[in-house]
Amino acid sequence: MAVIEGSVTSLGIQIVYVIVGVFCVVKALTLLGSYRKMKKRYDEIPGFEKKDYHWLTGNIHKFPKETEKRLELHRSLMINNPRVCRMWLGPFVANIFVHHPDSIKRILKSSEPKARGLGGSYEYLLPWLGEGLLVSNGDRWARSRRLLTPAFHFDILRPYVDIYNEASDLLLDKMASDVKKGRSFELFGNISMCTLDIILRCAFSYENDCQVKGETHPYVVAVNELSETLLHRTRIPLLHPDFIFYLTSEGRRFRRNCNFVHSVTEEIIAKRKQTLKEKKFQPKPRYLDFLDILLSARDETGQGLSDAEIRDEADTFLFEGHDTTASGITWTLFALAGHPHFQAKVKGEIDDVSKGRKCKDIQWEDLPKLQYLTQCIKEGMRLHSPVPFIQRRLKKEIEMPDCTLPGGALVTLHLYNLHHNPHVWTDPDTYDPERFNPDTVRELDTYSFIPFSAGSRNCIGQHFAMNEEKVVIARILQRYTLALDPKHTVQKKFSAVLRSEHGIHVTITPREDTATDNQ
Query: What is the per-residue pLDDT across 439-477, written as a single tens digit (0 to 9) for each?
Result: 888 888 999 999 999 988 999 999 999 999 999 999 999
pLDDT above 50 for 515: no
- Residue 6 falls inside a structural domain: no
> Rounded to the nearest 10 degrees, what angle do helices 340-353 and 462-479 cross at?
100
**DSSP-based helix, strand, coil % in the chain, nearest 5:** 60, 10, 30
Question: Of 215, 207, 208, 165, nearest to 191 (Cα)?
Answer: 215
Strands 404-405 and 492-493: unpaired
pLDDT, mean of residues 192-202: 92
Pure H helices in 420-459: 438-441
pLDDT, mean of residues 7-25: 68
Sheet of 93-98: strands edge to edge?
84-89, 93-98, 410-414, 389-393
Beta bridge partners of residue 390, listed in sequence order? 413
- Residue 311 falls inside a structural domain: yes
> 433 with 379: CB under 8 angstroms?
yes
Rounded CA gap, 509 and 159, in Å? 31
Q: What percent of the chain has pLDDT over 70?
A: 91
Question: Of 339, 338, 349, 356, nearest to 374 (Cα)?
Answer: 349
- Residue 34 falls inside a structural domain: no
- Residue 8 falls inside a structural domain: no
pLDDT of residue 127: 93
- Residue 51 falls inside a structural domain: no
> 480 with 508: CB under 8 angstroms?
yes
pLDDT above 50 for 518: no
Q: Establish whether 459 is an annotated binding residue.
A: yes
Highest averaged pLDDT of the listed ranges 43-57, 126-140, 202-216, 366-380? 366-380
- Residue 202 falls inside a structural domain: yes
Q: Higher confidence at residue 481 or residue 322?
A: 481
Highest averaged pLDDT of the listed ranges 136-140, 206-210, 292-296, 421-425? 421-425
Residue 233 structural domain: 68-514
Question: Of 372, 125, 81, nearest to 226 (Cα)?
Answer: 125
- For residue 379, the domain's CATH number is 1.10.630.10
pLDDT above 80 for 79: yes
Rounded CA gap, 234 and 238, in Å? 9
CA atoms within 13 A on the CB side of 306: 8
pLDDT above 90 for 20: no
pLDDT, mean of residues 146-161: 91
Rounded CA gap, 95 and 67, in Å? 18
Question: Of 484, 199, 144, nearest to 336 (Cα)?
Answer: 484
pLDDT category at 314 given cuts 50, 70, 90 is very high
Please state the domain count of the chain: 1
- Residue 42 falls inside a structural domain: no
pLDDT of residue 120: 77
Q: Is the pTM of this model over 0.75?
A: yes
pLDDT category at 519 given cuts 50, 70, 90 is very low
Rounded CA gap, 155 and 369, in Å? 18
State the DSSP H helix or E strand holding residue 126, giving kind and residue range, or none if neither.
helix 126-129
pLDDT category at 8 given cuts 50, 70, 90 is low
- Looking at residue 469, its amino acid is E
Of 217-231, 367-381, 482-496, least confident by mean pLDDT is: 217-231
pLDDT of residue 245: 94
pLDDT, mean of residues 305-331: 92
pLDDT digits (tens, 9 = 90+) for 24-33: 776 666 666 6
> 412 with 97: CB under 8 angstroms?
yes
Q: Is the dihedral of CA 460, 462, 467, 471 positive or negative?
A: positive
Q: How long, in residues, is the chain?
A: 519
Long-range CB contact pairs, 336-340, < 8 A, 24+: 336/376, 336/380, 336/473, 336/477, 336/482, 337/482, 337/483, 337/484, 337/506, 338/431, 338/484, 339/431, 340/481, 340/483
pLDDT of residue 271: 85
pLDDT above 80 for 478: yes
pLDDT, mean of residues 158-183: 93
pLDDT of residue 9: 65
- Residue 390 falls inside a structural domain: yes
pLDDT, mean of residues 315-325: 90
pLDDT category at 514 given cuts 50, 70, 90 is low
Rounded CA gap, 144 and 10, in Å? 62
Q: Is residue 436 exposed (0-12), middle (13-18) or buried (19+ Cβ within 10 Å)?
A: buried
Mean pLDDT of the chain: 88
Buried b (16+ CB within 10 A) or exposed e, 49-88: eeeebeeebbbbebeeeebeebbeebbebbeebbbbbbbb
